[in-house]
Amino acid sequence: MLMGEVIVVTSGKGGVGKTTTTANLGAGLASLGSRVCLIDADIGLRNLDVVMGLENRIVYDLVDVTSGNCPFRKALIKDKRFENLYLLPAAQTKDKTAVSPDQMRALCQEIKNEYDYVIVDCPAGIEQGFRNAIAGANQAVVVTTPEVSAVRDADRIIGLLEKEDLREPKLIVNRYRYHMVRHGDMMSIDDIIEILAIDLLGVVPEDEMVVVSTNRGEMVVTNNQSRSGQAYRNIVRRIKGENVPMMDLEEGGFMRKLRRMIGLK
Report if residue 216 touches other proteins, rule: CB under 8 A. no
* Contact residue for other proteins among 73, 78, 156, 167 (CB under 8 A): 156
Q: How far is the CB of 176 from other proteins (least distance, A)?
A: 13
Extended beta strands in the chain, E state: 5-10, 36-40, 77-78, 85-88, 117-121, 139-144, 170-176, 199-205
Strand partners, 117: 5, 36
- List the one residue out of 92, 36, 89 whose CA is nearest residue 65: 89
DSSP string, 174-209: EEE-HHHHHTTSS--HHHHHHHH--EEEEEEE--HH
Q: How many residues bind other proteins (CB under 8 A)?
A: 17
Report if residue 264 touches other proteins, rule: CB under 8 A. no
Backbone phi and psi for residue 200, each to the nearest 5 degrees, phi listed first? -90, 125
Q: What is the DSSP letter of 233?
A: H
Report if residue 163 touches other proteins, rule: CB under 8 A. no
Report if residue 151 touches other proteins, rule: CB under 8 A. yes
Report if residue 126 touches other proteins, rule: CB under 8 A. no
**Cβ closest to other proteins, residue 30 vs residue 203:** 203
Q: How far is the CB of 42 from other proteins (least distance, A)?
A: 25
Q: Which stretch binds other proteins (CB under 8 A): 42-50, 152-160, 165-173, 227-235?
A: 152-160
* Contact residue for other proteins among 5, 114, 147, 251 (CB under 8 A): 147
Report if residue 159 touches other proteins, rule: CB under 8 A. yes
* Contact residue for other proteins among 3, 163, 184, 263 (CB under 8 A): 184
Alpha-carbon dihedral angle through residues 76, 82, 83, 88, given to the nearest 10 degrees: -10
Say how far apart CA 141 and CA 254 lie, in whole Å: 34
**Cβ closest to other proteins, residue 42 vs residue 206:** 206
**Cβ closest to other proteins, residue 12 vs residue 123:** 12
Site mask for other proteins (CB under 8 A), range 16-45, x = bound: ------------------------------
Q: How far is the CB of 197 from other proteins (least distance, A)?
A: 11
- List the one residue out of 148, 158, 137, 139 whose CA is nearest residue 12: 158
**Cβ closest to other proteins, residue 81 vs residue 156:** 156
* Contact residue for other proteins among 183, 216, 257, 265 (CB under 8 A): 183
CA distance from start to end of the chain: 51
The length of the chain is: 265
DSSP string, 33-51: T--EEEEE--TTS--HHHH
Report if residue 197 touches other proteins, rule: CB under 8 A. no
CB 52 within 8 A of CB 121: no
Binding site for other proteins (CB under 8 A): 147-148, 151-152, 155-156, 159, 181-188, 191, 195
